[in-house]
Copies of this chain bind each other. A is one copy, B any other.
Amino acid sequence: MRNIRLDLCYEGTRYRGWQRLSGTDNTIQAKLEQTLSRILGEEIEVSASGRTDAGTHAKMQVVNFHCESEMPCEKILSELRRYLPEDIGIYSCRNVSPRFHARLNAKEKTYIYRIWNSDAPCVFERKFVLIDPRELDMDAMIKGAGYFLGEHDFAAFCAQSKTKKSTIRYIRRLEIQRIGNEIIFTVTGNGFLHHMVRIMVGTLLEVGRGERQPENILQLFAAKRADAGALVPACGLCLVEVEY
């Protein structure tokens, strides 16, 4: 069985997220699997480095899939580019070792979250940012961000889940920069729970608005979901890097 890796990007605006869902084919995974199955003439299932939420974007997503077809990678690439919708783009297609698994082998992922922090118009990037002109204390947010670094129990920073899987994750980097009218959060970690980045950013925004002290974040590890901040909208979030 061949194992093939695709590096891709997508604008998530009109999709119900990455993951295939019953009752709709309006997910990125479904579009990709349908297109690959048609091109290769066999049923294809893809594994991604991780799921992205409805409305969340990816500048870099990595998937792999197994197939019997002997179609050359260049041909698969050109066929995908021909048939996929214009909001899904394929950077590359290559044969990889049978052991490569896009999710299980991912060592680190990096997300950015963008906030348009101004009354000025944001017409051209509006689908890729959260528009919020309220004043934010950068120093307080940067101080708060520091408390996230390292290994912690992120149970309070994840959507309620029925499974009893570990909620411990390691955050290596959490940077907050102001560039013009934008505030950009960049977060790198070994894995992310459902909604984790969006709740971390929501909590830091509450710190930035003075509604929560930076030190309060220390008390949120192993706390309950209700203790942490609000979930910010999906449109500001973008997966930008996957490390293997």
The listed residue (B57, B89, B124) touching A122 by CB distance below 8 A is B89
Contacting B at CB under 8 A, from A116-161, are 119-124, 126, 128
Contacts of A121 in B (CB 8 A): 8-9, 81, 89-91
A11 touches B123 (CB 8 A): yes
The listed residue (B81, B87, B122) touching A119 by CB distance below 8 A is B81
Main secondary structure of the interface of A (DSSP, over half): mixed
Q: Kindly state whether residue A10 has any CB partner on chain B within 8 Å.
A: yes
Q: How far is the CB of A79 from chain B (nearest CB, A)?
A: 13
Given the contacts A81-B121, A119-B81, A126 and B86 also touching, CB distance less than 8 Å? yes
Q: How far is the CB of A236 from chain B (nearest CB, A)?
A: 14
Q: Kindly state whether residue A88 has any CB partner on chain B within 8 Å.
A: yes
Measured as residues with beta carbon below 8 angstroms from the partner, the interface class of chain A is 20 to 34
Interface flags for A183-223 (1: CB within 8 Å of B; 0: not) read 00000000000000000000000000000000000000000
Interface flags for A87-126 (1: CB within 8 Å of B; 0: not) read 1111100000000000000000000000000011111101
B9 touches A88 (CB 8 A): no
With contacts A81-B119, A81-B121, A86-B123 known, what are 13 further pairs, Cβ within 8 A?
A: A8-B121, A9-B123, A9-B124, A10-B123, A11-B123, A57-B124, A86-B126, A88-B123, A89-B120, A89-B122, A89-B123, A91-B121, A124-B128
18 contacts across the A-B interface (CB closer than 8 A):
A8-B121, A9-B121, A9-B124, A11-B124, A57-B124, A59-B124, A81-B119, A81-B121, A86-B123, A86-B126, A87-B126, A89-B120, A89-B121, A89-B122, A89-B123, A90-B121, A91-B121, A124-B128
